[in-house]
Structure formats: structure tokens, C-alpha cells
Amino acid sequence: MLHQDRLRAESFGNDAERYDRSRPTYPAALVDHLVSSGVRRVLDVGCGTGKAARLFMARGCDVVGVEPDPRMAAVARRHGVVVDDGHFEGWDPRDRTFDLVASAQAWHWVDPVAGPAKAASVLVPGGRIGVFWNIASFPADLKAVLEAVYRRLAPGLDESSVALGNAGPARYGAAADSLRASGRFADVTVSPYVHHRTYTADAWIDQLLTHSDHAAMDPATRAPLLDAVAAEIDRAGGDLTIRYDTWLVTGTAIH
């Protein structure tokens, strides 16, 4: 299972500054929805460089992050985020409880059985979980061209890469299933929030290097792939506008 691949799970800190710089943010409407019931205390699981934590902090929330990679945590702390080191499953809450357990782009690295149970245990009565992912959607013609490039230069990656928008249901569908199966959450729902971001070819390549499947490639294979992807974006006009569907899975803790 994906959460057991710790080499990939903890690869993002290899260039934490690039991750913080190039990864997209999350829609304001999603964050506003999660805090709309008076949420003040937020636990951010797999907080990374604090991209989501900062959005909650900007809305007046007290946020604690949990992050296994000290390089990612260091960037988050520089942005003012309080971070506890370690993996969520073994993390010690020290009698702290929260109104919301959130996880942005990271819940698939958490054990699907232990994770929901741990989240429910630190939530106040009526507290919520909200886990979410940015899933990219390309213009149809460019998507076909890029998938052909991947099939030629990185066979298999075209079918599974989040960067190509091909792993969405495997992320949010599995999360919803595991929350329901845990018996610890009621009213589990799945909802998309839409936002857009425009990249130059260089900016798109910059963020591709923050995806664990691309980062784990042999550099001799990855270099021609990235060159070919950049060439196709330039051929299509030089700018790439991505529609991101940010899929939110949320539910209310049962005590």
C-alpha cells in the first residue's frame, strides 16, 4: 500500500523550498467551509512546509502541525507554524484536543486503519476531519499529447501520476472509504472545489520535481522526459493553465 512506501513518503524534503515555492495553494472557499462552524484548534497532519496551515492561521485558528520530515518542518516553522516532529500514527497529542483534523495532499501517506482512529481520538465531540487533494485537469488536446510523451519516455507513469491528474479517485475515494469503514465518522462526504493556476513551461517542470513519482525516477530517464514535456508546453503557446479540482473528504467524529 502507498502509505508503506516511506522512501517516497519522505522524499519531499529533498527540496523543501522548491515544494513550498511551486506547489499550488488551496481554495479559500474550502478553508472557509472547514472553519465555518467556529473551528479554532486545528491539527494539520503531514503539514509539510505549512502551505495549508498558514491558510488556517490567517483565519485566526491555532494550528499544530505533525510532520515526519524535519526538512519540511523547518520551512513550516520559518513561516510561524508550530510543528511536532514524527509520524501521525505514533504522535503523542499530550492531552490536546482539536476542533478539526486537516490534511492537505498528505492523507494517503497515513495508515488507512490507524489514521482515522487516531484522528477521531483527538477530536472534540462534534469535531470534524477534512482531508483534501489538488487534482490537475489539463486542456484535452494537451493532455493527450503529454500522456503520449509519458508513454514513450516513462511507461506506466502516465496511468498513475497525480501530476497528470490520473490518481484522483485513488486518493479521495480511498480516504472516504476508510473513514466510513472505521466506524468513527458520520456524514462522510466528498466535494470538489475548483481553482486555476497558470504556469510557464519552466514553472511546470519546477513543480513536477516536487512529486514523489517524478523525484524517484532515475535522472537519466527523468531528464529527457522533462525536456519533452517543456517542449510540448512551449509548442502549445508557452503557458499552461491548469484547472485544479480540490477534492475534500470530510466527516464528523463519533464519540
* Residue 233 lies inside a defined structural domain of this protein: no
* Residue 100 lies inside a defined structural domain of this protein: yes
Residue 101 has pLDDT above 90, yes or no: yes
The radius of gyration of the chain from alpha carbons, rounded to an integer in Å, stands at 18
Encode burial over 217-230: b for 16+ CB neighbours within 10 A, e otherwise.
beeeebeebbebbb
By C-alpha distance, which of 188, 156, 194, 195 is closest to 173?
188
Predicted pLDDT of residue 12: 53
Q: Domain with 57 in it: what CATH number?
A: 3.40.50.150
* Residue 12 lies inside a defined structural domain of this protein: yes
pLDDT above 70 coverage of the chain, percent: 94
* Residue 21 lies inside a defined structural domain of this protein: yes
232/8: higher pLDDT: 232
| Side chain identity at residue 193, one-letter code | Y
| pTM score, whole prediction | 0.91
Range of the domain at 175: 2-137+166-196+245-253
Cα 172 to Cα 174: distance, rounded to the nearest angstrom: 5
* Residue 43 lies inside a defined structural domain of this protein: yes
Tally of structural domains, the chain: 1
* Residue 54 lies inside a defined structural domain of this protein: yes
Residue 138, phi then psi, degrees to nearest 5: -100, 160
- pLDDT by residue (tens digit) across 204-251? 999 999 988 898 889 999 999 999 999 999 999 999 999 999 999 999
* Residue 111 lies inside a defined structural domain of this protein: yes
* Residue 145 lies inside a defined structural domain of this protein: no
Cα distance between the two ends of the chain? 29
